[in-house]
Amino acid sequence: MQVTPMVWFITIAVTILFFIYEFFAHVRKPHEPSIAESARWSAFYIGLALLFGVGIGTVSGWTFGGEYFAGYLTEKALSIDNLFVFLIVMAGFAVPKKYQQKVLMIGIIIALILRGGFIAIGATLIENFSWVFYIFGALLLVLAYRQAFSSHEANPANGKFMTLVRRVLPVTNEYHQDKLTVRQGGKRFVTPMLLTIIAIGFVDLIFAVDSIPAIYGLTNEAYIVFTANAFALMGLRQLFFLIGGLLERLVYLAQGLAVILGFIGVKLVFHALHVNELPFINGGEPLLWVPEIPIWFSLLFIGATIVVATVASLLKTRSDEKKDDRGLVHGEPVITTHPHDRDENPGVDEKTMSTADTSR
């Protein structure tokens, strides 16, 4: 796939312009988006991503088009998982709903910048060291295991990293609109708003370690990696408000992502063996008998896994709701809580200042 510097320049410039438009048109004035607004813009960005994929397939061939769609599906699923952690972080910091757009927008921009750096590093490593596929494959298998057997209960807002940040920075206990810093008594303090952005930036760094090796397991083209990530992040802010309540119903999302990461990890290991140059494996010769998993199979597998995980999650939560209803009928009280219940709290309570493990 031949991508000229001019195409790279135009792609990056258009991506930046989209985010600038997003900020001035939707985020600059604090407000909570309506469902209709979120649905309209989510559909627009998803449609734009699909149209771009068709364009790649038409211009560069459907092998590259398939790689883009597989990468986009994977990155979108990982981004939705990212949203779940954003939800926990903003609940932990009790971010008022009308300011959540700004936090999400800054968090998404940080994610794109971090992923851009990882994309450049990954492209350089792959071009010069074929054995890096072994490392990427092993990393994804480890991440798949952690994704399958860990939970999102730990709140990064209360983790060791944020505890260290609080020790370094003087923090106010209350929000001051959407300001990041405020002067009190002649001294400059940071607000919980800035702490939330720092926490989300830290989460973005962790997720970049997941997402970049995953998509490089589907394509070696840095341009496809970048555009799939950019389109997966575009519209993520609107998607947060559109499916915020649905996120808690996707109880098998982590397991579905674990299957996808594990599959791509195996695919990477197979590819590494197929292009092997390590002297202690088969005398430094490629193992040509090792199968290469075709992109069409990867695309079908990833799509089917997302569908199965989503349907199974919705069936599970519906079944649990019916059990709860039966419990209420028989006089057994059922108490439920939701992270958004704390959104109207203008400050950060003392529990937020405790420490917890940041592992997902």
Collapsed DSSP state (helix, strand, coil) of residue 232 = helix
Q: How far is CA 320 from CA 4, 150, 306, 313, 325, in A?
A: 53, 21, 21, 11, 9
pLDDT 10s per residue in the chain (360 long)? Answer: 788 999 999 999 999 998 888 888 777 777 677 778 788 888 898 999 999 999 999 999 999 999 999 999 998 888 887 777 787 788 778 888 888 888 888 888 888 888 888 888 888 888 888 788 888 888 888 888 888 876 655 666 677 777 787 788 888 878 887 788 888 877 888 888 888 888 888 878 777 777 888 888 889 899 999 999 999 888 788 887 777 666 677 788 888 888 998 999 898 888 888 878 888 887 888 888 888 888 889 889 999 998 998 899 888 888 877 777 676 655 555 444 444 444 444 444 444 434 334 444
Give the H/E segment covering residue 183. Answer: strand 181-184
Q: Within 13 Å of residue 323, how many CA atoms lie on the same side as its CB? A: 6
Residues forming a β-bridge with 187: 184
C-alpha gyration radius of the chain: 22
C-alpha–C-alpha distance, residues 340 and 182, integer Å: 26
